Amino acid sequence: GLHYPLMVLVDYRGYRLIAMPLLPVGPDTLIYGSSDAGKTIHADSMEMNARMKLATSILNLRSHDVWNSEKTNCVQLHGPIDIEGHLGRDGRYYVLDTARLFPPAIPVK
């Protein structure tokens, strides 16, 4: 499966705390998506590609071709270009930066 980091927001006596786990990922573990605004796009792992394709098909999202910012490389992705898929140092597949996975919500007035 795919693993997602959890986050908790705690308000306590006028202070706000955000707690997140430290994940076993880094710049060298990126195998899917882009972490540099589309200059480099990764789709390096067939296993990660299959997992992302399954996850996005469940969400009713379609695969699409994306070009890097220099228009020199075209890759098929199954989510937004700025999503990050990592093969963690613990052997698990992690998905980060999912903010653009869904369209933005209309603000409530």
Sign of CA dihedral 99, 101, 103, 108: negative
The C-alpha torsion from 21 through 22 and 27 to 30, rounded to 10°, is -50
Question: Has residue 99 got a pLDDT over 90?
Answer: no
pTM for this prediction: 0.85
Question: Has residue 101 got a pLDDT over 90?
Answer: no
Which pLDDT score is estimated for 86? 97
Q: For Cα atoms 18, 20, 26, give the angle at the middle one, nearest 5 degrees.
A: 135
Which pLDDT score is estimated for 53? 96
